[in-house]
């Protein structure tokens, strides 16, 4: 007896297609009828939890590119990540010093305790999750998706989190400021706002201490107009930073100029130059005379002590911070404003070695030096 193979395959595919159409019809009927209870308080059936978990894990594994992380044990990265975690992550996920807010415990799915969850993911997968967020989990993507340097800081902190005691976490999260529990007086007076936990001193310099990380700029003594412009650009999402944009958005309009004035009037404290890899003498030539062959103007044409107050002063800034900032401009991702477009254009014409040299010269100068 002969078998018609073609007919058999047609019947098979027909059966599969029919089953698929039937399943789609049932799903549409359930959605139209409202029979499925979508209340978060009800929770998911066990089979649906399993299905969603399977889909999420496999999706992250399939979509996360295999990246080479920086040194995730770098104290500067960990400190920067800790400062953001306290206000950006802990309200939902909790931390060593606080439980998950009951409002977020009612989410579906419930945000996991990150100190327990990080070991389930690779460095690249953590980076991808932080950068893009997760659908159906209420987790948004990073506010500045091109700022991989900031995302790696949070990955570095998450790697350190499982081993942190409450005391160590508070020290890291407080930085140069003070992270203390909200008092009754704060609650009654209405001063218990998120802004109280996102003070500038958690990361930036004070009259007594430098920034908590070499990944953070020194603000003391910078021109008032530059600082105010930066804060306004963060609020308008034209200056990219997943850490600074949420903070700037919460500063009341009336206080923006006061914050800028505080740092403009703050005397920078002396410090030893940060570690750099470039050649300061070669960097000095570019900083003072530019690169005529590539039509790059001298850095000091805009960043000297007598330049327009909208431009920052660079002497004594951290080499690590300047390198990341300048090479990020080189990617062309941060050209949303006219001044950023100028920087992106200039950095695009310099080699990485030239950028390292310029950074080395500025980092080797005393902070606040009046470079002509």
CATH 2.60.300.12 fits 280-364, yes or no: no
How many CA atoms within 13 Å lie on the side-chain side of 254? 0
pLDDT of residue 283: 95
User: Taking Cα atoms as reference points, which of 347, 323, 344, 348 lies closest to residue 335?
Assistant: 344
pLDDT tens for 233-250 read 999 988 989 999 988 988
Domains 75-215 and 280-364 share a fold: yes
Query: What is the distance between the alpha carbons of residues 176 and 27, in angstroms, rounded to a whole number?
Result: 55
Ranges of the chain with pLDDT below 50: 1, 187, 192, 194, 196-197
Query: What is the distance between the alpha carbons of residues 339 and 319, in angstroms, rounded to a whole number?
Result: 21
**With 0-12 CB in 10 A as exposed, 13-18 as middle and 19+ as buried, what is 309?**
middle
User: Taking Cα atoms as reference points, which of 152, 151, 146 lies closest to residue 331?
Assistant: 146
The residue ranges of every structural domain in the chain are 75-215, 280-364
Cis status, amide bond into 150, omega within 30 of 0: no
pLDDT of residue 184: 52
pLDDT tens for 257-303 read 999 999 999 999 887 777 889 999 999 999 999 999 999 999 999 88
pLDDT of residue 200: 85
pLDDT of residue 197: 42
pLDDT of residue 2: 53
pLDDT of residue 296: 92
**With 0-12 CB in 10 A as exposed, 13-18 as middle and 19+ as buried, what is 74?**
middle
The CATH number of the structural domain formed by 75-215 is 1.10.760.10
pLDDT of residue 223: 94
pLDDT tens for 172-184 read 988 887 655 555 5
Q: What is the DSSP string of 239-257?
A: S--TTHHHHHHHS-HHHHH
């Amino acid at each position: 007896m002969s078998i018609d193979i073609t007919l058999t395959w047609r019947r098979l595919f027909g059966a599969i297609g029919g089953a698929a159409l039937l399943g789609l019809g049932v799903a549409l009927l359930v959605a139209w009828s409202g029979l499925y209870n979508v209340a978060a308080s009800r929770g998911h059936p066990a089979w649906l939890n399993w299905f969603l978990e399977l889909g999420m894990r496999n999706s992250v594994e399939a979509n996360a590119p295999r990246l080479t992380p920086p040194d995730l044990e770098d104290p500067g990265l960990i400190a920067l990540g800790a400062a953001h975690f306290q206000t950006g992550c802990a309200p939902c996920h909790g931390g060593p010093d606080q439980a998950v807010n009951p409002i977020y415990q009612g989410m579906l799915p419930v945000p996991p305790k990150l100190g327990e969850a990080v070991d389930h993911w690779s460095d690249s997968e953590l980076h991808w999750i932080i950068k893009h967020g997760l659908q159906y989990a209420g987790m948004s993507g990073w506010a500045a998706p091109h700022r991989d340097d900031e995302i790696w800081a949070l990955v570095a902190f998450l790697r350190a989190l499982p081993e942190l005691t409450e005391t160590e976490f508070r020290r890291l999260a407080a930085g140069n400021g003070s992270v203390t529990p909200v008092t009754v007086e704060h609650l009654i007076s209405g001063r218990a706002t998120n802004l109280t936990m996102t003070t500038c001193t958690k990361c930036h310099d004070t009259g007594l201490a430098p920034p908590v990380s070499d990944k953070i700029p020194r603000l003391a003594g910078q021109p008032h107009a530059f600082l105010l412009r930066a804060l306004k650009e963060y609020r308008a999402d034209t200056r990219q930073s997943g850490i600074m944009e949420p903070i700037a958005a919460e500063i009341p309009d009336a206080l923006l100029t006061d914050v800028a004035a505080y740092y403009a009037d703050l005397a920078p404290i002396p410090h030893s130059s940060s570690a750099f890899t470039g050649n300061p003498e070669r960097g000095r030539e570019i900083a003072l005379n530019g690169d005529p062959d590539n039509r790059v103007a001298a850095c000091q044409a805009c960043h000297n002590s007598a330049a327009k107050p909208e431009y920052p002063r660079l002497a004594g800034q951290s080499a690590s911070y300047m390198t990341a900032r300048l090479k990020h401009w080189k990617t062309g991702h941060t050209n949303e404003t006219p001044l950023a477009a100028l920087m992106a254009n200039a950095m695009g014409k310099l080699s990485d070695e030239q950028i390292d040299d310029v950074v080395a010269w500025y980092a080797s100068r005393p902070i606040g030096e009046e470079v002509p």
